[in-house]
Structure 1
């Protein structure tokens, strides 16, 4: 592994963690602790793929680390999870939520073909060089995964978030992509 490869992950880890947390709070698991864990893994895998596509190079990751991703305000408003009276601890992690990454992750969670195309698009990038990557729970969720993340994978519920930046994702992954229903 080349020096600096692991630091790319570290640079995007606050963004990935916050955006996955936003998704799992806006679209919580159905069930107990195991369901919550399965839902979180699916959200984190979708957000990781989306973040790596959005910030494909070490430079991109460094720039978003310096400037910050923008926060969850618009996502909160669109999803109905507006948090005007959130305490400062809640506001701190919400500032690391990336609207575009959340939108792209919503697209990936609701369209298996698009998710497969996105994961294939990561091959050979700065984030995957020399490291075996697996996104099984995103690409081929089993019955338990689907039950746990019923809200997180529901196309109608995620449609407002997915629609925000869907066109950018489709353009990035190639022409001729069908719009997600």
Structure 2
């Protein structure tokens, strides 16, 4: 896949893990990050399926995390808004967050059936292998994965983010069908 998605994947995964942090120590943080990255990768590959899509994203930019921060209250908790004198570069990564990708990733993290359908769609599209093994922690998390990412996978906590663009994800996975969700 075109490397231009790397900054979006990294920033959006970072946003998810900061907004919905791991519950536990260093191992839990690593497991949580892997799950976020797998969900964001799947969502980004679905959202930007071609090199042209990735190139257009690079030109237009992903939009940033401002609306997501506001929806989750992270703008007041994490200091997402910089004040004069703050090191603004410390927050520059937030400009690479893609709201739609974050929303789709949240949907995948909270709905195992939808995650499995997304990974199957990736296999058909030619992104990576799209195999369940490549996305195992997303589609088949074990007890350790679920425990480490309890907040990241909590449907009620992620609902405001997941609902933002949920219908677009369903349209991508089921083109031409009208779904009621």
1:137 is matched with 137
Deviation at 1:176, TM superposition (A): 6.1
Is residue 2:69 matched to residue 1:76?
A: yes
Deviation at 1:142, TM superposition (A): 0.4
User: Cα RMSD over matched residues?
Assistant: 1.5
Aligned mates of 1:176, 1:145 — CA distance in 2: 33
Deviation at 1:120, TM superposition (A): 0.6
1:146 is matched with 146
Deviation at 1:171, TM superposition (A): 1.3
Alignment of 1:1-181 (within 5 A): 5=1, 8=2, 10-82=3-75, 83-85=80-82, 87-128=87-128, 131=129, 133=131, 134-174=134-174, 175=177, 179=181
Q: Do the aligned residues in 2 keep the contact of 1:106 with 1:158 (CA within 8 Å)?
A: yes
Q: Do the aligned residues in 2 keep the contact of 1:22 with 1:97 (CA within 8 Å)?
A: yes
Q: How many residues align?
A: 170
SS in 1 for 2:163: helix
SS in 1 for 2:123: coil
> TM-score normalised to the size of structure 1?
0.89
Q: Do the aligned residues in 1 keep the contact of 2:123 with 2:130 (CA within 8 Å)?
A: no
What 5-or-longer segments of structure 2 have no aligned partner? Answer: none
What 5-or-longer segments of structure 1 have no aligned partner? Answer: none
Q: Do the aligned residues in 1 keep the contact of 2:82 with 2:88 (CA within 8 Å)?
A: no
Aligned mates of 2:48, 2:98 — CA distance in 1: 11
Greater alpha carbon shift after TM alignment, 11-20 vs 82-91: 82-91
1:20-39 deviation per Cα after TM superposition (whole angstroms, max 9, x unaligned): 00000000000000000000
